[in-house]
Structure 1
Amino acid sequence: MTTSLPVAIDIVSDVVCPWCYLGRARLNKALAQIPQTTVAINWRPYQLDPSIPAGGKDRQTYMMEKFGDAERIRTAHTQLTELGREVDIDFDFDAINVAPNTLDAHRVIRWAATAGPDVQDRVVGRLFALYFEEGADIGNPAVLIKAAGDAGMDKALVETLLATEADRPEVEQEIETARKMGITGVPCFLFEGRYAVMGAQDVQTLAGAITQIAEAKANGTLDQPAG
């Protein structure tokens, strides 16, 4: 079956969430398994910790304050590193020195949505890689500007906008809306604005969900109640 109408996928995510990075990689592998199905992806903002100051915090200190157990942190990092290898992610948690506030990153991601086809997803992917594989401070405006340019955005425009309050209230409102919807963890995949799949699901689960929704949409049965 070839689906002419794309399946809309909104992904609520934070770019400092390793499970969100895994979720994106697994989604890409799922889509590769169902090339006959087209999708329209839109990244939505979420902040795991909006209390982090604008300049960020020392990550080791932050992680100990948050989890309070070095062994627990090492165990989680080991698990994530192993899962990452399965989807070609090379996590390097030791390289991360700063726990950033991600509000500005989400502003850039918001602007990327109107910068051209697939630009937003490229920006998101680049920010994930910068943070989790290269240890870059993605709260740093210079890092954000370069990432935006690398993904095809207008660097000068991004630099100008970042120096202002442009879209800050809108991003904060989107984050609040996600919380009011009951989203307390990410990633959250929202299909066609109504069907939610929580967490970094495995490739087959994502592929199956997308295929089922695509078929229902193509057949005109998407909104019909289950018999």
Structure 2
Amino acid sequence: MQAIQVEVNYDFICPWCWIGQRNFAAALVEAGVGAAVSIRYVPFELNPAMPVEGMDRRSYRSRKFGSWARSQSMDAQVAAAGLTAGAQFNYDKVLRTPNTRLAHRLMQFAQARNEPHKTAALYPAIFAAYFSEGRDIGSLDTLVAIAAEHAFDAAEASAYLLSAAGNQEIDAARARADRLGVQAVPTILIDGGVISGAQPPVVFANALRCARQRSAA
């Protein structure tokens, strides 16, 4: 049986991408196909014009959504949804809105090493570092530390991020997403079928079961 091909279009600034990851992980267990799935994480920068150093989150969100009160209301809705999915959002700790290019490049680094289990652990860890712990995932030092915490070589990760490696792949991924009509994240392709949004586990599980049946046919 061929592995079910899954593409996860994401951005680390998107809380629904983390919720979607949690729901998809639950779906893998529910569908019983975990070992038969090959996952590729596809970067989709929502805010490529964000300054490299990021911005003060309160200022940025107040300007984007009209007021800090509206931003806090939206955060509360996300936090409630996160609890259902098992994702802990501690927005009181999140002080900056980062540029996520460097974090995407870290995922490129991880995937190039062809160690899917380590990569699968690193992916949600970056979300948790930002949304739960309030760490600056736009910082090279922070990302190297997260990589080391998940058994990647810190020196190799640092050298990669200090180079220009991964930038072309990120740009190419966005161009491909545009051709496919991907306009928002999370968007997950399961065996070519497109699922948009942080859907409940049952939606992903049903798609995985269908893909397994096609693979076995």
Query: Given the two structures, how large is their TM-score scaled by the length of structure 1?
Result: 0.90
The percentage of counterpart residues that share the same residue type is 28
Report the AA paired with residue 56 of structure 2.
D
1:66, 1:178 → 2: CA distance? 24
Letter of the structure 2 residue corresponding to residue 150 of structure 1? E
Q: Which amino acid aligns with 2:25?
A: N
Residues 180, 68 of structure 1: alpha-carbon distance in 2 compared, 3 angstrom cutoff: farther
Q: 8 Å contact 1:43–1:121 — kept in the other structure?
A: no
For 2:185, give the aligned amino acid: V
- Write the letter of the residue equivalent to 2:40: N
Q: Does 1:196 align with 2:189?
A: no
1:15 is matched with 12
| In structure 1, distance between residues paired with 2:106 and 2:202 | 31
CA distance in 2, matches of 1:70, 1:61: 8
Distance 1:28 1:176 in 2: 27
DSSP 3-state at the match of 2:40: strand
- Say whether the 8 Å CA contact 2:33–2:208 is kept in structure 1: no
Mapped partners of 1:36, 1:16: distance in 2? 28
**CA-to-aligned-CA distance 1:101-156 (integer Å, 9 cap, x gap):** 11111111011113313222211111000000001100000011011111221211
The CA distance in 2 between the partners of 1:102 and 1:67, in whole Å, is 20
Give the equivalent residue in structure 2 for 1:177.
176
- 1:36 positional shift: 4.5
| Distance (Å, rounded) in 2 between the aligned partners of 1:141 and 1:151 | 16
SS of the equivalent of 1:11 reads: strand
* Higher Rg of the two aligned structures: 1
Structure-1 residue corresponding to 2:157:
158
2:125 matched to which residue of 1?
Answer: 126
**1:86 and 2:94 aligned:** no
SS of residue paired to 1:186: coil
Rounded to whole Å, the distance in 2 between the matches of 1:161 and 1:216 is 39
Cα distance in 2, alignment partners of residues 69 and 180 from structure 1? 35
Contact 1:22 1:87 in 2 (8 A): yes
- SS of alignment partner, residue 118 of structure 1: helix
The answer as to whether partners of 2:50 and 2:98 remain within 8 angstroms in 1 is yes
Conserved? CA contact 2:31–2:206, under 8 Å: no
Q: Report which stretch shifted further, 205-214 or 70-79.
A: 70-79
Matches within 5 A, 1:204-223: 204-219=202-217
Please name the residue that 2:135 is paired with: 136
SS at match of 1:184: coil
Name the CA distance, whole Å, in 2 between partners of 1:117 and 1:180: 27
Which residue pairs with 2:21 in the alignment? 24
| Secondary structure of 1:49's aligned partner | coil
Unaligned runs of 5+ in 1: 220-227
Aligned to 2:30: 33
Structure 1 vs Structure 2 CA RMSD: 1.3
CA contact (8 A) 2:58 2:68 kept: no
Corresponding residue for residue 42 of structure 1: 40
Residue 210 of structure 1: how far off its partner (Å): 0.8
What is the TM-score when the length of structure 2 is the normalising length?
A: 0.94
